[in-house]
Structure 1
């Protein structure tokens, strides 16, 4: 089957090709580096399946174009589905599948890496030593042992993150509208309401999906409920965080550290080389100017193990639809509300 694959890089092609070759009936994959949106949807004319990634735009207008061109299946090669208008897809008769789990360890471990870098100023220490500066001034950190870590979103990734932090000897607080028995099975972990988690946590890490109820979950009001000098980590979705509110929190000292792998306006920035350009996003430029902020470019998922799993599940999802089998990884409209 013909599949139009958008937002591709060399690593996407490598792992998808490997998974496709291993498939019983390989598909005809055509790769496009450009993002999917209403202006590029015409590239998928005649393709029964379109495969997209996190920063593609599958809104109502784009989906209508795809449906009119003969597309019937949208295959997301990621867990999140906030980039697609699921209601519009359903109304247009488009089926949508995703990769609900690939390597939750990859994202959880990256979140821990951001914590360690922020706390022990590893980026600053590395640069100093390379410049033959061996002073320790300005590199003071704190013990993670006995610190209180708040985990917002305790699915697979959030729970694995909590397990790792429990290994450091941290106290664990969780908040989730759908409690997970695996989280409460961690020694010392307990669920609390959101205000209590915000008020008691030294470190807050976001691991929840982006749905209407979690949009700008971190905002002026919730930041004011946080402990002075809190560390905020987000490896989930950028729009969980109101960036301007976080900047205000940094300036006031309410937020002492920020580690981000995602950014709410990342669509035109991440996965591209802008080193020879002047970035026009003043908010992003201001954010990365702070010494207590570390930003990575949506790379938390980026491990060999994760890319293998993503490719295998994506190809399996497409094959299941082609063969008329049950779509176990289908995105339902009710899930997006």
Structure 2
């Protein structure tokens, strides 16, 4: 097959080429994001490999189909950027990588929590300037704190296991209860209870029409004073305007983001020599208690290896007309 790989970075090429030695597909890499303009590059390709910020709406999918594309392969778990109904109508199978490495995102979640709590990023800069004062670096013990997890799928569960080791009390909200979470001593509750009781809230749920702006002004108003909020899932889960107001009112004492609602114009590229024309993002950066990383939660050797392996295996199964357990459109 000829496979067009969009939003391709140098590390994508390394891991896909390593795995492709076992598949012998023709991989063509495009640094550009997939959208209605760049979709014209897909003429005579059998498949498109897309990432989190590529656009796969009805218009783009129709264009891809007309150019001969037969398969859509997502090299990520989330699929909120795909119009699955349109894909089914067009007979375009969509496959994904549902579990490339839950631990990679879970461990990054903990890194954000620990960094914000113990302020190691600020301490690092101080010590480099020979400033050893501790004022402003005060943290708290995670042991005994209540952590609320919204979503207890594979990533949420992996996060819960680590927090359980810290001695945290675990609360969660998820329409589908996970027996493994309960076995850790975790308790399920409604969102209102979670907001009221959690010292730390961490998001691990998919983005959908129902979960869009799940964390809004009303939700934040129900949270404990001084709550820490972490989002390593999808930017659209939170209302950025509401986050800023929550920070200004001191309701949110610390905010860790690995995702951002408008990240498609920013993340995965170097903008250090440019002026960022995003006032909300710049406002977030102005707070000393906000830590933002550029969607790197997945970024480990283990995860990249698994992403390449699963993506190419998914396409092999589709080409051989075998049942692919990672296909999305079959159950719509």
Name the TM-score class by shorter chain. over 0.9
State the match for 2:11 in structure 1.
Answer: 11
The residue aligned with 2:55 is 57
8 Å contact 2:254–2:289 — kept in the other structure? yes
| Cα displacement (A) at 1:212 | 1.0
In structure 2, how many angstroms separate the alpha carbons of the residues matched to 1:328 and 1:149?
A: 33
2:230 equivalent in structure 1 = 233
Q: Which residue of 2 aligns with 1:138?
A: 136
Displacement, 1:22? 1.9
- Cα distance, 1:161 vs structure 2: 0.3
Question: Aligned with 2:34: secondary structure?
Answer: coil
Question: 1:222 Cα shift?
Answer: 0.5
Q: 4+ residue runs of structure 1 moved beyond 4 angstroms?
A: none
The separation in 2 between residues aligned to 1:266 and 1:31, in whole angstroms, is 21
Alpha-carbon distance, 1:268 to partner: 0.3
Equivalent position of 2:247 in the other structure: 250
| 8 A Cα contact 1:50 1:75, kept in partner | yes
**Residues 9 and 33 in structure 1, CA contact (< 8 A), matched pair in contact too:** yes
Please give the alpha-carbon distance, in whole angstroms, between the structure 2 residues aligned to 1:215 and 1:308.
31
Q: Deviations over 1:106-153 (max 9, x none)?
A: 000000000000000110000000011000000000110100000000
Question: Could you tell me how far apart the structure 1 residues matched to 2:283 and 2:139 are?
Answer: 24
Counterpart of 1:253 in 2: which secondary structure?
coil
Structure 1 SS opposite 2:21: helix
Identify the match of residue 192 of structure 1 among 189, 193, 218: 189
Offset of residue 332 of structure 1: 3.0
Aligned equivalent of 1:284, options 267, 274, 281: 281
User: Deviation per CA, 1:264-292, whole angstroms, max 9, x where unpaired?
Assistant: 00000000110000000000000111000
Whether the 8 Å CA contact 1:86–1:333 is kept in 2: the answer is no
Q: Secondary structure at the match of 1:214?
A: coil
Deviations 1:227-267 (A, max 9, x none): 00000000000000101101000001111100000000000
1:33 aligns to what? Answer: 31
Q: Is residue 262 of structure 1 aligned with residue 262 of structure 2?
A: no
Q: CA deviation at 1:333?
A: 7.3
Secondary structure of 1:150 counterpart: strand
Q: Counterpart of 2:85 in 1: which secondary structure?
A: helix
Match status 1:305 vs 2:305:
no
The alignment's C-alpha RMSD in Å is 0.9
Instruction: Give the whole-Å Cα distance in 2 for the aligned partners of 1:278 and 1:224.
Output: 33
With normalisation by structure 1, the TM-score equals: 0.97
Alpha-carbon distance between aligned partners in 2 of 1:219 and 1:45, rounded to the nearest angstrom: 42
Q: Aligned partners of 1:108 and 1:97: how far apart in 2?
A: 23
Q: State the alpha-carbon separation in 2 of the partners of residues 54 and 304 from structure 1.
A: 18
Unaligned runs of 5+ in 1: none
Q: Which residue of 1 aligns with 2:325?
A: 328
Decide whether the 8 Å contact of 1:87 with 1:333 is kept in 2. Answer: no
TM-score of the pair, normalised by structure 2? 0.99
Q: Which residue does the alignment assign to 1:123? A: 121
Contact 2:87 2:329 in 1 (8 A): no
- Report the Cα distance in structure 2 between the residues aligned to 1:334 and 1:16, rounded to whole angstroms: 28
Q: Determine whether 1:71 maps to 2:66.
A: no
Q: Among residues 159, 178, 192, which one is paired with 1:161 in the alignment?
A: 159
Aligned partner of 2:206 in structure 1 is 209
> How far apart in 2 are the matches of 1:211 and 1:32?
28
